[in-house]
Amino acid sequence: MKIIFTVILYFFAYVLSAQSLDYMGWVDRSANHIEQNRLDSAAVALQKAMALEPANENNPVLLLNLGILQRQLGLYDDAYISFTASMGNNPMPNVVLHNRASLLCDMERFDEAMEDYNTLIRNYPDDVEAYYRRGLLFLEKNERAKAEDDFKASDAIDPDNMYTKLSKALLYKLDDNWEAAEQVYTGLIQSSSKVDPSFYLNRAECYVNTDQIFKASADLRAVEGSQKANPYFYILRGRVRLGQFDKIAARADFRKAKELGYEADLVNDWLKKTE
């Protein structure tokens, strides 16, 4: 009975504490939840802050952060609503547009994403990342000439920018110039204090296509922990294992790629090589 009574006291203390929190108190609580990786609780705390003061001038920034949390939680429709609502009076409209455009790509709403990147480039003509992202969308539409125009624009603005370099590497890959692409990714890896896992993944792809199986395997091992939901990781590792004459392991990787949604016809072509 004493234990139950103590639990009840703690519960009411928490409720009273929650009721007494002001706007900044809920914002601080959200930040604490984020530090502890409790993203759902962090999102609720932001919503409670804005509910307390619907007219607070900081709400557009909170809505931006709420959208980012919702996207991480896989709540894409909710994130889109938050980003869109955040646009009004936001001191960082370019950040909102980048987040919304990227989200729209995740939602496969590519035409709307293109509109956001068009707005970014129109309002922020030196935004190198916007040119790179719009170039990717042009490539998705098989409009390589327009993509190259965007990549050239980013090169003219800042040839040393990471997105400019990624643009060049992408064009090298499209032209099957894997050696040149590998050099770009190696340079990015060596110059980054915190390396994006995609750099290793892309360099591994270059190594696979130049029959440098040992190096490809090393890069894939470096990012294995972060790529468990990425079907292309399993395609690449399957190709490495095929190159190592381990057909059983290669087959398992190709099947995993198919399970995660990689294009079935392409996977089937690789599976035939493991028979």
Which DSSP state fits 91? S
Q: Confidence class of residue 6 from pLDDT cuts 50, 70 and 90?
A: very low
Note the pLDDT tens digit of each residue in 116-137: 999 999 999 999 999 999 999 9
Give the side-chain half-sphere CA count within 13 A for 1.
0
Q: What is the pLDDT of residue 7?
A: 40
Residue 2 has pLDDT above 90, yes or no: no
Q: What is the pTM (predicted TM-score) of this model?
A: 0.86
Measured distance CA(217)–CA(230) in Å, rounded: 16
Q: How far is CA 157 from CA 15, 95, 147, in A?
A: 54, 19, 16
Pick from 164, 156, 109: nearest CA to 133? 164
Mean pLDDT value across residues 88-101: 95
Q: What is the pLDDT of residue 13?
A: 36
Q: Which residue has the tokens 């607070």?
A: 56
Give the side-chain half-sphere CA count within 13 A for 232.
8
Instruction: Classify domain 181-274 at the CATH topology level.
Output: 1.25.40
DSSP letter string over the chain? Answer: -HHHHHHHHHHHHHHHHHHH--HHHHHHHHHHHHHTT-HHHHHHHHHHHHHH-TT-TTHHHHHHHHHHHHHHTT-HHHHHHHHHHHTTT-S-HHHHHHHHHHHHHHTT-HHHHHHHHHHHHHH-TT-HHHHHHHHHHHHHTT-HHHHHHHHHHHHHH-TTSHHHHHHHHHHHHHTT-HHHHHHHHHHHHHH-SS--HHHHHHHHHHHHTTT-HHHHHHHHHHHGGG-TT-HHHHHHHHHHHHHTT-HHHHHHHHHHHHHTT--HHHHHHHHHTT-
**What does the domain layout of the chain look like in residue ranges?**
181-274
Note the pLDDT tens digit of each residue in 57-78: 999 999 999 999 999 999 999 9
Measured distance CA(228)–CA(249) in Å, rounded: 16
Note the pLDDT tens digit of each residue in 7-56: 433 433 344 344 568 999 999 999 999 999 999 999 999 999 999 999 99
Measured distance CA(45)–CA(31) in Å, rounded: 9
Residue 4 has pLDDT above 80, yes or no: no
Measured distance CA(168)–CA(246) in Å, rounded: 34
Mean pLDDT value across residues 2-6: 40
Mean pLDDT value across residues 238-265: 96
Mean pLDDT value across residues 164-178: 97
Neighbours of 115 (CB within 10 A): 15
Q: What is the pLDDT of residue 148?
A: 97
Measured distance CA(144)–CA(138) in Å, rounded: 6
